[in-house]
Structure 1
Amino acid sequence: MSKRLTLTIAAAAAATALLFTGLAPANAADPWDPAIERIGGSDRYDTAVKISKKFPANIGYLFIATGEAFPDALGASAVAGHFGSPLLLVTRTSVPANVVTEINRLNPDAIVIVGGTGVISNAVQTKLATLAPVVTRVAGSDRYATNRKTNELAYDAVGNPPSLALVATGRDYPDALAAGVVGGLRSYPVVLVNGSAAALDAATKTHLADIGVQNGAGIIGGTGSVSTGIENGLTTLFPGNVFRASGPDRFATSAKVRDIFFAAHDTAFLATGAGFADALAGGPLAASVDGGLGGPLYLVQKNCIPAPVLTRLQADQPSKVVLLGGTGTLTADVANLKPC
């Protein structure tokens, strides 16, 4: 197998993107009684397994990330969605038994480990090597280098250049999680930066050129997440083709991502904004539902739905709302669409 993963036909078709496709609100008098589905397990590893069960067996690629920390895995959700692949979580030193069972069901041609041995040990890699014919590790010197290497699995300036890059801070997880679904659906790489830096760093500039980003960049998050200096650097690279999707908090930002990147959709996803794991594993599923049309992933609070998110849901009236995580993560009040 080539060191560079090959792009699937489905992912190539998904690369035709629509931008700024806001949906007009539905009539407020229209009844809305969506089906509520919860995909939740006993812990984050089990929840990821239950999400993975929505994918068919005999897949091409399976992505593996740590369930203990977010930095290395943030960009992996988008790349997994790009390939139509699930993402499973492991600990640093072990593969949970239910994860092994799910890998056997999936029967992947190749497993891609995202992160170095400091987050996923060689012992875990050795175990995974008994479950698939090919196991590849993607790791760099830090979270940003790992992110760049992960993107390089999917994108090539000559063979498969992406039309747009989604830029988010790598210092925290919420904005990148909301971007991950869009990245998987539209075949846009999520490019992590040190959002507090005064300027766009040279390594990121080189990366954007190496993977051949063609048309511009969308910054996910406000200036407190990704600085105006970084925005100015991107504008120099893509004059007139840089925009922001941002709100006053993580919840409003996830709603703004929906406004810009999603039109009518049948399914919407809710995940906690207080943790990364469920949204990370759920991103590839959200990118693949409804025949590949995908559905937005909103971040919500444990016990209620913030106003910007509920407003979008009520306007869009999706026929199904999927909760990612058990009742310890999202309570029954969220399932009942209780406003904050």
Structure 2
Amino acid sequence: MSKKMIASIIIVCNTMMAGFPVYAATNNSSSDISMSQSVKMNRLAGKTKYETAKAISEYYCSGKVDHVILATGNNFADGISASVLAHTKEAPILLVNSTVENSQDAFDYIRQHLDPSGTVYIIGGVGIIGDEFETELNELGFAQIVRIAGLDRYDTSYRIAESLHTTTGSSVVISSGEDYSDALSISSFAANKDWPILLSPAKELPEQLRNYLRELKPAKVFVTGGEVLISNNIISEISDLLPGASIERLMGQSRFDTNVIIAKTFATNPATVYLANGYGFADALAGSTVAAQKGEPIIMVDPSIPTLPKATAGYFENFCANNLSPDLVAFGGSGVVSDEIMANSKRLISGAVKGTSIYSIADLNQTVTQNESYSLPTTVPAKLYNSDTENLPVQWNPQTIDTSKVGTTVYTGVINGFANTIKLNLTVREPLPIAQYTTYFDPGLANRTENIRLAAKALDGKLLAPGERFSFNKSVGERTAEAGYKEALIIEGNSFTPGLGGGVCQVSSTLYNAVILAGLQIIERHRHTLPISYVPPGQDATVAYPELDFKFRNNTAASILIRSFVGDNSLTFKLYKK
């Protein structure tokens, strides 16, 4: 290829880097008006991780390329060391699925952009990316195919490193082969400087990596991650192998902390900050080619929350403190890097908010039992932009509490330094009953239903003091026409016959069963002379004024409240301790 043609390709690619938005989503909400307008936002995304990788590759270069790299989108192990190779070859990283048929986004890019004499680098063995991919590439006219694969992920990273022809005395990176976040955090910096990324198990260096380090004799070794991922034993091994080398461990308390420590080590003044899902590898891997061009950071975010990890918020705040305003580019759709995360990142970078500024305060919902003592909270938890939670003092209106009435009262709260008011929805509910029992009746029997309603109403709200005795007949009274009772079937002897107050025995029997469940002392109870259907056999309590009564005693140390509820076809008694 002529130098003129190469220069043309570089110009096209750099032009694309300067401002070709494959998929842009900028949040220009009213709250951002006061922000520095120099912080631009862009998003590189597709509907799937494979589409996103293609979108990133289009952004990387929409012209012709001489090389592309294929890595699986289903597993991180082989691909995370390929960022350095991609930068060296000026090649985008395309992600493929398990079959050619499901990898058309990658093949579309190759058809449109790979020079016919160009090379496709396949990362991983045929168990990861099958032979059918090579067959498809050959049928498309691409003959230059190089597969880089080892016996395992560690061997593959070693073989990628070998292909780089790194100069003796250079730096290298040692990252865990069991997790992707630390390797991807350093990938753009290592790629920019052509430092190989070698994967290692936690406890001991593989032999091929030992041999590689002996031969390369790097002057500096960066170890990413804590001791759980890369043990101190490996640090000792490296020291023994390279007695003259400087070894620096880059680690934090979490993947996000480590990510920021790496970014602060290598990118104090970036022109662009790239945001990616901290709990997924695909978008960051594909995006590492873009970030590596100028050695700029890929910052990991937690897609489950709209705020930034504490270390990340601090990193962004420092830009404003140093009069820096890097642009923001998200790798992936709003499901992994939300518009709110991008907007909050911009707010922190531009100085519109600080990490310790209040992001949100959720409304509160409290439920108490009727007449229960309750005090309004003096503080409420506030979510900060750095994802911390701080309890802040609050002033409520109204300030008085009344739990004597069942229902919901809304209190509004004011917090100093927070523009929005918050709400506390205080719901007062009836106390849970110590016992309840329900029976059912035929509402089509109008007279009987009315008698049930009258007797149940007479008992509703009755309060028994400790030791007090209850009499059904005394509480309900004589069942007379003057009292509103109607004729319905009653049991007299061994037959059913019409009589005033038919149905009242269902009320006494229902109450009896609730009293039994509450463990109260039964003083008097009579059974019907014929079977009845609304309670199980033997669990009835018949009454007939004034001869037959149902009596019990409140043998507890608390007052007992009787509540009755009559539905369309049901009768329920609930007993409460007061």
TMscore range, shorter length: 0.7 to 0.9
Aligned match for 2:279, one of 271, 274, 278? 274
Aligned match for 1:323, one of 321, 330, 333? 330
Return the TM-score normalized by structure 2: 0.50
**SS at 2:71 equivalent:** strand
CA drift of 1:214 comes to 2.7
If asked which structure has higher relative contact order (CA below 8 Å, sep 6+), I would say 1
5+ residue gaps in structure 2? 1-9, 11-33, 346-384, 388-578
* Matches of 2:98 and 2:163, distance apart in 1: 23
**SS at 1:233 equivalent:** helix
Aligned match for 1:146, one of 137, 151, 156? 156
Aligned match for 2:74, one of 62, 68, 71? 68
- Structure (1 or 2) with the larger CA radius of gyration: 2
CA drift of 1:98 comes to 2.6
Aligned match for 2:189, one of 179, 182, 194? 182
* Matches of 2:229 and 2:35, distance apart in 1: 38
Structure having the larger proportion of residues in strand: 2
Contact preservation (8 Å) 1:165, 1:216: yes
Q: Deviations over 1:116-174 (max 9, x none)?
A: 01110111121123253301111111111111111111125xxx346100100001110
* Matches of 1:309 and 1:128, distance apart in 2: 42
* Matches of 2:42 and 2:217, distance apart in 1: 37
* Matches of 1:271 and 1:31, distance apart in 2: 23
The residue type equivalent to 1:325 in the other structure is G
Aligned match for 2:212, one of 207, 212, 218? 207
* Matches of 1:213 and 1:189, distance apart in 2: 13
Partner of 1:245: 250
Count of residue correspondences? 302
Aligned match for 2:199, one of 192, 196, 204? 192
Q: Deviations over 1:313-337 (max 9, x none)?
A: 2213443111110012111221112
Partner of 1:58: 64
Contact preservation (8 Å) 1:32, 1:314: no
**SS at 2:214 equivalent:** helix
- The reply to whether residue 101 of structure 1 matches residue 108 of structure 2 is yes
The residue type equivalent to 1:78 in the other structure is V
Runs of 4+ in 1 over 4 A off after TM superposition: 30-33
Q: Deviations over 1:206-234 (max 9, x none)?
A: 12234x24312000111121100001111
Q: 1:68 to 1:35 in 2, by over 3 A?
A: same
Partner of 1:88: 94
Contact preservation (8 Å) 2:67, 2:91: yes
The residue type equivalent to 2:297 in the other structure is P
Aligned match for 1:111, one of 86, 103, 120? 120
Aligned match for 1:314, one of 312, 317, 321? 317
Q: 1:208 to 1:128 in 2, by over 3 A?
A: farther
Aligned match for 1:233, one of 228, 232, 237? 237
CA drift of 1:178 comes to 0.8
Contact preservation (8 Å) 2:275, 2:301: yes
**SS at 1:281 equivalent:** helix
Contact preservation (8 Å) 2:125, 2:147: yes
* Matches of 1:261 and 1:163, distance apart in 2: 16
CA RMSD of aligned residues (A): 2.0
Percent identity (aligned) = 27
